[in-house]
Structure 1
């Protein structure tokens, strides 16, 4: 007789995620228990449409309590724990059915593969989480956040469990989900309250560090990680992740020596099988352009293979991530044959990884391959051309094959801003200014990207009246805050071109926000060989106080092949402002 499974979930305002989750499990569970903590959207209606039993529960800032509320209604032999932003993969369903009927443990851990970034893809982190629990065996959850499974049969919390090779895909860390739910502020509030009560709880400190890490606040993240590390215990489940995140913070904060030494120490003394740390050593060396040492680390990653399930965190460090980074190193070394080989290896292990596709086009372009042959080489790596025209367009756009990019974008028939913006940019870069204006007119509303494209096209066409009318319209718009910085720069750019009085934009010597906008303008002018406008536009550099502008100008010249001008501006930057970086010095060394 087959054993039964109850899906138990807690939800709130999950109308976007819940259908995907319930659709993915409807054929492997016998009942769905949904505890709703105050949804104001269509969550409850969606749950009921899938046949779920829905129970209302007042939210008390306590995930453990809410989770216990959900499992108390379960009537099956097993309890499957999931969140609304989880997804059960089709390929693991048979393994799950077998486990439910044959498994003789009370607790099973599955691998949670969390997508990171803007969309599901190869950027994935891995954690082990309790997912399957024997019902009516005395298990309950404790802690307001990052709730832990408890059982009074095991007073020291040494709950036995088995790691099963079953995945759950988690969409909750994708950018749009985090922004929508404002979960970071909620989580930080709960964790800070917990730390007040339990200041020596290293797990709480680690989790609070994670919240700051997710916001790219690496200084505060590292502060809490260091507190958690002060009582380091290598046997704790979270400890490998603590070390990995500490090394990553050091990497992002340019504390490269500290990060390297920590990774080296932990590999030697505690986790010799943790491939992730060898990979992080490699990317530190790569960042420092110590290429031989970096290559040694990445080759060792391949030899080490995947870390054991209880250790691994960054998916792919034993294969596709490492091969991709090796490809990038060899591109920098201009060893395009080795770059190509590693690029292909990357795609063998992860065909949906876009980074090696970008590298592939760069490599083939650098090897002098004709664009027609590059297209023939790249297209087979896209499994569904009709669905992926926008992605192929982006690949060729990045390498400045604008005509080819435009051909693909024109085949993209979806009414989405992503495709519109790419097409408008292609038209602008190809010098088709009238077509660009005609295409974007009325298509985008209150888009900063539209503003930059349109205003540049108008200026390049010398349409003075339309330029100032457009600037004034935006200046009087209710969305002025979205455009404020760009408006300041583009107004002065227009004033220079049309010989109107100019004003200082900013006198702050370390303010980079205006610099980025200025160099967007300069790059379009230089690429379009609008040299008269470019020479005039250089006056904008005198209207911003950023002392890094000469260095950036040198890099821009170098990118477009004006090597003598590049060297001249970088040397000026060093002499006049003592401003330089590794990229600038590399340009000087290569002359």
Structure 2
């Protein structure tokens, strides 16, 4: 049987690390943490989970640090995770096919899903670290379209849309021959999203349509078209478009949309149209692929129906993925009080 090493770089990750370690301890044959200068309880927490902890000074070279932690791995396979990622046994969330294609290997769909919270935790330093690493790499290899694409993605995640747009434009105008039609189509879809976020709906739709013409079945472009419809308050149009999207095709090269996000937008459109039963049906589907908004809406719908037991289930699913856990905990405690009062009356 094949064995697995889980490797992770960490620094002051006491908030996220226990969740990550708990999510992999049943599948990992060894867990290796390379700590780069923690001043909190990161090292102690890692050791408590049985992880091997190595120490290194951060040298502002992410690639070198990654290679260092990988050098400690001794098992057949290696899974490299950030401290703020969780592994779930469903479907892969981020694309990893680039390195496979370089080895002439074809990627296969996995039943593993990785949830990454680092870009939603309100801490910009994590994003800046990634961007600086890609900037340094691009300075060394200015014609590397792969690095330029990931730098553009980092800028996109930092919400520096103007710079991200310029990098994506350079890729499409001067380096498009380095990319497959699929990759070009996904970059066009991301440009459409940048236009949408900059409140340029006409350009957003044009770019999304270009992406769909280049690659039929570009679910990401279709999803962004639906978001433009929502921005323009065309909720029924958006709902119909969202319902035609194959959720399994939202994991694309370079970028992906969580299936739960698709369902969340359908729920919001359903509520706008007064379709409460449909909204609840999609919320139930999301219990397997939860988002914070979807779980909170599901809980609120259940409370409206006085189904407090199911409401509690939704809020409990929301708690570990909430950007504001205290608010969800307050909801849980309120529902538990109601359930306790009901039980006392019986």
TM-score normalised over the length of structure 1 = 0.47
> Matches of 2:262 and 2:314 in 1, distance apart?
26
> Matches of 1:169 and 1:298 in 2, distance apart?
22
> Matches of 2:182 and 2:64 in 1, distance apart?
23
Alignment partner of 1:278 is 2:222: yes
Q: Is the 8 A contact 1:319 1:349 kept in 2?
A: no
> Matches of 2:51 and 2:296 in 1, distance apart?
44
1:382 to 303, 311, 314: 311
1:203 to 146, 151, 169: 146
Task: Note the alpha carbon deviations across 1:64-94, whole angstroms, 9 max, x for none.
Answer: 22222222222223323222222233x46xx
Alignment partner of 1:342 is 2:278: yes
Alignment partner of 1:79 is 2:23: no
Alignment partner of 1:224 is 2:153: no
Pairs within 5 Å for 1:78-227: 78-89=77-88, 91=89, 111=92, 126-129=93-96, 149=99, 157-163=102-108, 164-176=110-122, 178-179=123-124, 182-227=125-170
Task: Note the alpha carbon deviations across 1:446-486, whole angstroms, 9 max, x for none.
Answer: xxxxxxxxxxxxxxxxxxxxxxxxxxxxxxxxxxxxxxxxx
2:257 to 309, 314, 329: 314
- Residue 266 of structure 1 deviates from its aligned partner by 1.3
1:266 to 206, 211, 216: 211
Q: Is the 8 A contact 2:127 2:154 kept in 1?
A: yes
Alignment partner of 1:287 is 2:286: no
> Matches of 1:316 and 1:255 in 2, distance apart?
26
- Residue 240 of structure 1 deviates from its aligned partner by 5.1
> Matches of 1:216 and 1:345 in 2, distance apart?
33
Q: Is the 8 A contact 2:250 2:259 kept in 1?
A: no
| TM-aligned CA distance change 1:321 to 1:149, over 3 Å | same
Task: Note the alpha carbon deviations across 1:271-324, whole angstroms, 9 max, x for none.
Answer: x222222122122133234456445433433xx453164457112389613522
Pairs within 5 Å for 1:395-414: 408=334, 411=337
- Residue 359 of structure 1 deviates from its aligned partner by 6.9
> Matches of 1:34 and 1:361 in 2, distance apart?
37
Please, which runs of 5 or more residues in structure 1 have no aligned partner? Answer: 93-109, 112-125, 131-147, 151-155, 331-335, 365-372, 395-406, 413-591
Count of aligned pairs between the two proteins: 324
Secondary structure at the residue paired with 1:263?
A: helix
Task: Note the alpha carbon deviations across 1:33-68, whole angstroms, 9 max, x for none.
Answer: 222233333333333333333322333322222222
- Residue 356 of structure 1 deviates from its aligned partner by 6.2
| TM-aligned CA distance change 1:317 to 1:81, over 3 Å | closer
> Matches of 2:297 and 2:5 in 1, distance apart?
46
| TM-aligned CA distance change 1:76 to 1:58, over 3 Å | same
> Matches of 1:47 and 1:158 in 2, distance apart?
33
| TM-aligned CA distance change 1:47 to 1:260, over 3 Å | same
Q: Is the 8 A contact 1:305 1:318 kept in 2?
A: no
1:252 to 172, 177, 197: 197
Q: Residue in 2 aligned with 1:514?
A: none
- Residue 392 of structure 1 deviates from its aligned partner by 10
> Matches of 1:76 and 1:326 in 2, distance apart?
47
Task: Note the alpha carbon deviations across 1:203-242, whole angstroms, 9 max, x for none.
Answer: 3332232233223332222222222222335527754543
Q: Is the 8 A contact 1:8 1:34 kept in 2?
A: yes
> Matches of 1:298 and 1:66 in 2, distance apart?
41
RMSD: 3.9
Q: Is the 8 A contact 1:306 1:318 kept in 2?
A: no
Alignment partner of 1:3 is 2:2: yes
TM-score normalised over the length of structure 2 = 0.76
> Matches of 2:7 and 2:51 in 1, distance apart?
10
Secondary structure at the residue paired with 1:162?
A: coil
Secondary structure at the residue paired with 2:94?
A: strand
> Matches of 1:360 and 1:81 in 2, distance apart?
33
